[in-house]
Structure 1
């Protein structure tokens, strides 16, 4: 069955939180603490219609959190269950983010990731995101990136 993306509901909360634990736990040792996504309030994101899930074969396999801001759409988080890696679901979610940003009238999409998540920085760079700056926030060393939408 073809994967599809829909708005997250309260029924998806446990699946989202499980994916967050699976996806970000490997970074705890590297960063020295839980990464920002492990501290987020996903109930808040769901109730504000910021969270979307990708479903394959009736199971939540990943999610994305998009937050409208003044100057750009913020791609606050994207994660796919490790068991579903390599199926193109993350790419679908990132394409969804760009489509959503364009439909909302944004000319760019921005994100941030921890500087210790070098794989993510490399991936986003390959996808056309450019680093804008680095800053320490909430005790986390973040790398901000932006992609101009055409």
Structure 2
């Protein structure tokens, strides 16, 4: 899979649902053994999220990156970010995170929130590098998570 910096990030359509599921599963599957649970995004209702205009995708031809963004009155929740493993290391995640900030600004929302499992150290480092501030550690059902926030620039 090749990645071009000019690839657009767009709202997913119903036709994208199988690709959204495939990218999400491929990106999150390696976490199952580490955290001992199926990551929540793998069990999401992708069709409902697409129908609610919560899913943004990127990739020319095949979808290689997926965002699930849930607007609230006072923040934008980055519920899931997934990059297909074949596209890892090519800047897709960085572009997706930049899109989250732009989307929050376009909605007039002052804050982005996200969470990651406490055993996902690489995610914690990634979010810190991108300016996300650790807010708390909290159990959400069976998931032990670190919650982060960021105020988008501009």
TM-score, normalised relative to structure 2: 0.93
**1:67 pairs with 2:75:** no
Q: Give 1 or 2: higher strand fraction.
A: 1
Q: What is the deviation of 1:138?
A: 2.0
Question: Which residue of structure 2 aligns with residue 119 of structure 1?
Answer: 122
Cα distance between partner residues in 1 of 2:137 and 2:58: 30
Q: What is the deviation of 1:6?
A: 1.0
Cα distance between partner residues in 2 of 1:52 and 1:85: 18
Unaligned runs of 5+ in 1: none
Question: Which residue of structure 2 aligns with residue 28 of structure 1?
Answer: 32
Cα distance between partner residues in 2 of 1:26 and 1:42: 20
The DSSP-based 3-state class of the residue aligned with 2:146 is strand
The DSSP-based 3-state class of the residue aligned with 2:82 is strand
Compute the RMSD of aligned alpha carbons: 1.0
1:41 to 31, 34, 45: 45
Unaligned runs of 5+ in 2: none
Question: Which residue of structure 1 aligns with residue 132 of structure 2?
Answer: 129
The DSSP-based 3-state class of the residue aligned with 1:67 is strand
**1:80 pairs with 2:83:** yes
TM-score, normalised relative to structure 1: 0.95
- Structure 1 residues 95-139: Cα deviation after superposition (integer angstroms, max 9, x where no partner): 111001001001111101111111101100111000101111120
Moved over 4 A (4+): none
Q: What is the deviation of 1:59?
A: 1.4
Whether the 8 Å contact between 2:57 and 2:64 is mirrored in structure 1 is yes
Question: Which residue of structure 2 aligns with residue 4 of structure 1?
Answer: 8
